[in-house]
Amino acid sequence: MRCVIAIIILMALSWPTLAKKPQPTTLSIGVISNHPSKHIKKTKPIAAYLQQNLEHFGYKNYEVIVKRNVNEMVEAVNQGKVDIISETLYGSSILYHKTEMEPALVRWKKRVARYNTYFITHKDNEINTIKDIKGKTLVFEDPGSTSGYYLPMMALERNSLSVNPMPSLDSDRLEGVVNSVFSSDFTRKHNEVNISTWVFHKKVDVGVISNVNWNDNEDVPDRIKGDLKVIHKTPEVPRAYLLIRASLPEAHKAALQAVLLSAHESEPGLKALKAYQKTSRFSQLTETDISWLDSIDPL
């Protein structure tokens, strides 16, 4: 009898531990960057803002987790080290398919919720549609860019255009395909101004650039814009997604989204958003936004 009573007492003492999971005390935000210090500085304000507004859930601290590439971030997420992260379509698609991260919100950057890719060429070129790029040269931005690579690649594929990667601009062109290079292979700062300048000087026949950059005088200076033309536009996609770890408590996820959706309505919130890579606000996802995550096959 004493043995039975002892077992019952032990079960009673251990029941709270079995029934109630320990609440998280640190809110972690993931960032993919080759410049950890810079992006930790940019992310800390929004992390602190979230932690302060979610403190009643037990979050006493915040942490910024920086990884060099999306594959390292996938590993960190699968180890339970990351609660939320914001990435463009390509990175978000990989995290969506390879981790338990789920899409939650659209992140506006520089007051832009959605963007697309423009195919541009010199106005003197007899290139007027995407089909005319066959046999020509095209410059992408870099292999990890949504607007500078993945959206235009999808557009080429949908128009039955194959791509021939060239090691240099002097390489022999192949007929019947699109001969491509990455600006990142040739310049340290593989930004959009390089692409527009290359097209203007006819170093390449066609370049790809986001509509946001096309309308930015620093990326496409007025002195050359008049000599360029847009021959194709891709569909619009979210400027960036916010993803949340699916295993977070539902109440935490709902509160986190509510805090971000209203952040632009307060001075402290606006300040934290601006520091976070010039974020303007967050908004709800549409069904189309979510469907885009399935459009890219993560290798």
The number of residues making up the chain comes to: 299
Q: Which of 218, 234, 250 is the last residue of a domain?
A: 234
Angle at 274 between CA 296 and CA 221, to 5 degrees: 70
**Residue the block writes with tokens 């022999």:** 172
> Which residues of the chain register pLDDT less than 70?
1-23, 188-192, 297-299
Sign of CA dihedral 12, 18, 19, 22: positive
Pick the closest to residue 130 from 156, 157, 163, 149 (CA basis): 156
pLDDT score recorded for residue 144: 87
Per-residue DSSP letter, 83:
S
Do both 123 and 225 map to the same domain?
A: yes
Pick the closest to residue 169 from 205, 122, 222 (CA basis): 205
- Whole-number percent of the chain with pLDDT over 70: 90
Number of structural domains (the chain) is 2
What are the backbone dihedrals phi and psi of residue 266, each rounded to the nearest 5 degrees, phi first?
-125, 155
Do both 123 and 197 map to the same domain?
A: yes
What are the backbone dihedrals phi and psi of residue 41, each rounded to the nearest 5 degrees, phi first?
-60, -40
The verdict on residue 7 lying in a domain is no
Task: Give the Cα separation of 60 and 41 in Å (integer).
Answer: 19
Half-sphere exposure of 270 (CA within 13 A, CB side): 5
Give every CB contact of residue 118 below 8 A, 6+ residues apart in sequence: 208, 209, 210, 211, 214, 230, 232, 233
Domain with 96, as residue range(s), is: 21-112+238-292
- Counts of helices then strands in the chain (DSSP H, E): 11, 14
The verdict on residue 5 lying in a domain is no
Do both 48 and 123 map to the same domain?
A: no
Do both 58 and 93 map to the same domain?
A: yes
The verdict on residue 194 lying in a domain is yes
pLDDT score recorded for residue 21: 53
Do both 127 and 218 map to the same domain?
A: yes
Contact (CB, 8 A) for 205 and 119: no
Do both 128 and 217 map to the same domain?
A: yes
pTM for the predicted model, two decimal places = 0.87
Do both 56 and 141 map to the same domain?
A: no
pLDDT score recorded for residue 10: 40
Distances (CA, A) of 248 to 101, 213, 221, 251: 10, 36, 46, 8
Do both 128 and 58 map to the same domain?
A: no
The verdict on residue 8 lying in a domain is no
Give every CB contact of residue 23 below 8 A, 6+ residues apart in sequence: 57, 58
Per-residue DSSP letter, 171:
S
Q: Which of 190, 216, 234 is the last residue of a domain?
A: 234
The verdict on residue 216 lying in a domain is yes
Do both 246 and 105 map to the same domain?
A: yes
Other Cβ atoms within 10 Å of 253 Cβ, number: 18
pLDDT score recorded for residue 22: 55
**Residue the block writes with tokens 């040739």:** 186
Question: Which CATH number does the domain housing residue 68 bear?
Answer: 3.40.190.10
Cα-Cα-Cα-Cα torsion 90, 95, 97, 102, nearest 10 degrees, comes to -110
pLDDT score recorded for residue 61: 97
The verdict on residue 11 lying in a domain is no
Do both 135 and 177 map to the same domain?
A: yes
The verdict on residue 14 lying in a domain is no
Do both 144 and 51 map to the same domain?
A: no
What are the backbone dihedrals phi and psi of residue 277, each rounded to the nearest 5 degrees, phi first?
50, 45
Contact (CB, 8 A) for 152 and 119: yes
Q: Which of 234, 259, 277 is the last residue of a domain?
A: 234
Do both 107 and 196 map to the same domain?
A: no
pLDDT score recorded for residue 186: 82
Sign of CA dihedral 99, 142, 293, 154: negative
The verdict on residue 131 lying in a domain is yes
